[in-house]
Structure 1
Amino acid sequence: MRRRLIALLCVTGSLVSGCGMLPGGHDRKTVTVWLMKDSASKEFLRRFTADFERTHGDLRLDIRIQEWTGIVEKVRAALRPGADDGPDVIEVGNTQVPLYADDGRLVDLTLESMRDWGKEKWLPGLAQPGRDGNKQYGIPWYAANRVVIYRKDAFERAGITRPPKTRDEWLADTAKLDSDGTQGIYLAGQDWYTLSGFIWDEGGELAREKDYEWQGTLDTTAALRGMDFYRRLQALGEGPVDADEEHPPQAGVFAGGKVAQIVAVPGLAQSVVRQNPGLKDKLGFFPVPGRTAGRPGTVFTGGSDLVVPQNTGDQFAATTVVGALTGAKWDTELARTMNYVPNKTSLAGAVAGEEGVAAMAAGAAHGRATPNTPQWADVEADNPIKEYMTRVLNGADPAPEARKASRAITGKLAPDVG
């Protein structure tokens, strides 16, 4: 939102400790930016702010840190026409963009992204949910996704000399690891994000849009093949079939020392080592294997996009900030600082030196996001995919259970009438 500063400038959100006189005594436009807690370090934001204000002498940044809890309603309120003191740039979860774009309250950034933002190299799992038809509302910022975290010593004991490259190799290796009191893999029965990748690898979808209506598609032949692979892999461990990866937290299970592999974001390894320091230097990472050796498996891509509200007081200034944050220089710096995947496949080399992040980047190149509809949030709120997975893993016939789950998804994706 456009504001005038006469004498003092403060960058909020506890990013700097004080305020000072503006150089030269002249006024500058202030661009208010909402970023989420822990998305970027304070030091990164200090450096970015200093560089941006040095190279854009007519602009100042007011960066305000937000909590994820309750953010959807807070953003919706800020996007309302006439909202006072709202932000000019907002960081949103990549799969949240449809929630806000659906109201027509975001700026269409298609022209800016086509000019010089390198959109042809964007990670698909960030770019696709930021798009509605031919309009690009969300600009990819950073990504994170699941990889396989494994015990190097367990692989050595099993005679496995390199991480598997294909899903068939992964099953065979996991079967070797599943012995002598060690689970070959700990995979909770309701880890539907991991299942989604297997379904996408088979050419299936969680849901498809046809004639402007969304339908659940877990009952297609391709989606059933993905569930069958999940069933076979999950059976090579003792993950609970009626719970997800957070119940109990899989980091704690892995830290117990009786698990050879888990599927998780690489950062979870830090929690594992904190709980079991003896595993330091014993953990490795590899991309989720694909159907063939030439391509890693498809994975769900999480992360953030940047959006610009329609009610911004200065669209040009707002898009200038977006371009700087998502440009190669600072996007690469953010990825290195925070162990993220950069927003473009062409920048993956910037994180090649970190084994876990490099494994993420390999998967992110083929990453996906959940179906691009604002109603998908209703699916996740009471997720029929989880119940479907539990029933199949308990021995139920997959086909009728998939049809039942697909009908439930279709019902949740139907827009409210009246």
Structure 2
Amino acid sequence: MKRRLLALACVSATLLSGCGLVPGSEPERQTVTVWVMQHSASQEYLDRFTEEFEREHTQIDLDVRVQEWTGIGEKVQQALETADPGGPDVIEVGNTQVATYAEGDGLLDLTLESMRDWGRDEWLPGLAEPGRWGSQQYGIPWYAANRVVVYRKDLFREAGITAPPKTRDEWLTLTEKLDTGDDQGIYLAGQDWYTLAGFIWEEGGELATERNGVWRGTLDSPEALRGMDFYRRLQALGDGPVDADEEHPPQAGVFADGRVAQIVAVPGVVRAVLKQNPELEGKLGYFPVPGRTAGTPGAVFTGGSDLVVPANTDAREAAIEVVAALTGKRWNTELARTMNYVPNKTSLAGAVAEEEGIAAMAAGAAQGRATPGTPQWSAVEADNPIKEYMTKVLRGADPAREAERAAERITEALAFD
């Protein structure tokens, strides 16, 4: 409706002047409705951004609305399909969900805009790659979070370990030294498939690949099998259950209650650990998941959010200005500092260097990845064959045979439309 009214105004104004160019007329004031997810940004941050953005863009009003994650997928899809005058013009979405929304032509192609001066060459790959659908960029990276190794400094000292490992081989050797019987070298649940994904990517493998528009599972590749073998060797150096993931039981509680030297988790887990065991205050440290070579952290799954613009927006240019501001250096850096996130560009990692856990996360994020960029990946996670595969291998089943079976199930799930 807003588009129709604007078109009628253009026609009725004058054929000679053109819309918005009537002598003496003022540019039309626009309201940009922004959907951000609950807990993604503090209210104080959103208030400051709104105030300063509106001061710098006098013809734009912001209407920032906080959304809950529960049921957000259906709500976003409805907004993309309905030309509602009160609908969103900018939406925060999970980085792995961009393909789902882009598939139905519901998002504005931001490829040209992102090539202007947005620093796209420095975007974190784990946010930028899933923000693409085909060769177009629909999602603009906003913030990221990923796993690091959280460790007990006191247990490291007791074992005579003076520094975190620099390579995966060193990590195994160090963890074996920490695994004394009384202490667990590491607590790694048997179905922590996000951590496994990082090991597979580090070996050069993939969870699934696409060729000529057809996706197939690739857990049975030599590279993916090497990633699983590393996981098996590391997981054996602790008492993590082979038939459960990191939330069953929550690994924060296990880490807080026992003499566990390491866990693989986002740094924010430490808040829960210290709440359950305040005596660990000052005893915890962080380092990036090690890679195969010294000086380069290992690949990790990157979670986080991208910003998208619905194709049916009536405030295209104004919405793009909002995206540019939120993902630009100033406000993106402030968001990272405020919420303990990784900024959206590798060049901004220094902004969080003073926080040990966030600095470790930022170093790993430079090697970050995301799940395969197909809307059907959600079908894989709904009945996740990767978890079952991991448990069977950890219980002694033949890795190659089980990987082939899991890869076939992934292929079947990805073929579902």
Structure 2 gap segments, 5+ residues each = 6-26
1:100 aligns with 2:129: no
Number of equivalent positions: 395
Asked if the contact 1:301–1:369 (Cα under 8 Å) also holds between the matched residues in 2, the reply is yes
Question: Shift in Å at residue 28 of structure 1?
Answer: 3.5
Instruction: Please list the CA deviations of residues 151-180 of structure 1 after superposition, one character each: whole Å capped at 9, or x if unmatched.
Output: 000000000000001000000110111115
1:161 is paired with a residue whose SS is: coil
- How do 1:131-142 residues align onto structure 2 when only pairs under 5 Å count? 131-142=132-143
2:33 is paired with a residue whose SS is: strand
- How do 1:254-403 residues align onto structure 2 when only pairs under 5 Å count? 254-403=255-404
Q: 1:221 to 1:2 in 2, by over 3 A?
A: same
Question: Shift in Å at residue 137 of structure 1?
Answer: 0.1
Q: Quote the Cα distance in structure 2 between the aligned partners of 1:210 and 1:109.
A: 25
1:121 aligns with 2:122: yes
Q: Kindly provide the amino acid, as one letter, of the partner of residue 188 in structure 1.
A: A
Question: Shift in Å at residue 403 of structure 1?
Answer: 0.2
Asked if the contact 2:2–2:85 (Cα under 8 Å) also holds between the matched residues in 1, the reply is no
- How do 1:223-242 residues align onto structure 2 when only pairs under 5 Å count? 223-242=224-243
Question: Shift in Å at residue 2 of structure 1?
Answer: 6.8
Q: Quote the Cα distance in structure 1 between the aligned partners of 2:329 and 2:193.
A: 33
Question: Shift in Å at residue 133 of structure 1?
Answer: 2.3
Q: Kindly provide the amino acid, as one letter, of the partner of residue 234 in structure 1.
A: Q
Asked if the contact 1:2–1:30 (Cα under 8 Å) also holds between the matched residues in 2, the reply is no
Q: Quote the Cα distance in structure 2 between the aligned partners of 1:74 and 1:173.
A: 48
TM-score w.r.t. length of structure 2? 0.93
Instruction: Please list the CA deviations of residues 95-124 of structure 1 after superposition, one character each: whole Å capped at 9, or x if unmatched.
Output: 000110000110000111000111000000
Q: Kindly provide the amino acid, as one letter, of the partner of residue 368 in structure 1.
A: R
Q: Quote the Cα distance in structure 1 between the aligned partners of 2:416 and 2:136.
A: 21
Q: Quote the Cα distance in structure 2 between the aligned partners of 1:388 and 1:2.
A: 52
1:193 is paired with a residue whose SS is: helix
Question: Shift in Å at residue 273 of structure 1?
Answer: 0.3
TM-score w.r.t. length of structure 1? 0.93
Q: 1:2 to 1:318 in 2, by over 3 A?
A: farther
2:129 is paired with a residue whose SS is: helix
Q: Quote the Cα distance in structure 1 between the aligned partners of 2:387 and 2:211.
A: 24
Q: Kindly provide the amino acid, as one letter, of the partner of residue 312 in structure 2.
A: N
2:191 is paired with a residue whose SS is: coil
Instruction: Please list the CA deviations of residues 354-409 of structure 1 after superposition, one character each: whole Å capped at 9, or x if unmatched.
Output: 00000000000010000000000000111000000000000000000000000000
Asked if the contact 1:164–1:170 (Cα under 8 Å) also holds between the matched residues in 2, the reply is yes
Asked if the contact 1:176–1:184 (Cα under 8 Å) also holds between the matched residues in 2, the reply is yes
Asked if the contact 1:2–1:31 (Cα under 8 Å) also holds between the matched residues in 2, the reply is no
Q: Quote the Cα distance in structure 1 between the aligned partners of 2:174 and 2:187.
A: 14
Instruction: Please list the CA deviations of residues 174-201 of structure 1 after superposition, one character each: whole Å capped at 9, or x if unmatched.
Output: 0111115111000000000000000000
Instruction: Please list the CA deviations of residues 300-338 of structure 1 after superposition, one character each: whole Å capped at 9, or x if unmatched.
Output: 000000000011011001000000000000000000000
Q: Kindly provide the amino acid, as one letter, of the partner of residue 284 in structure 2.
A: L
Runs of 4+ with deviation above 6 angstroms:
1-4
> Greater CA radius of gyration, 1 or 2?
2
Give me the identity figure in percent: 72
Q: Quote the Cα distance in structure 2 between the aligned partners of 1:372 and 1:238.
A: 34
Structure 1 gap segments, 5+ residues each = 5-25
1:200 aligns with 2:201: yes
Asked if the contact 1:2–1:29 (Cα under 8 Å) also holds between the matched residues in 2, the reply is no
Partner residue, 1:12: none
Q: 1:2 to 1:293 in 2, by over 3 A?
A: farther
Asked if the contact 1:2–1:314 (Cα under 8 Å) also holds between the matched residues in 2, the reply is no
Partner residue, 1:409: 410
Asked if the contact 1:379–1:412 (Cα under 8 Å) also holds between the matched residues in 2, the reply is yes
Q: Report the RMSD for the aligned CA atoms in angstroms.
A: 1.4
Partner residue, 1:88: 89
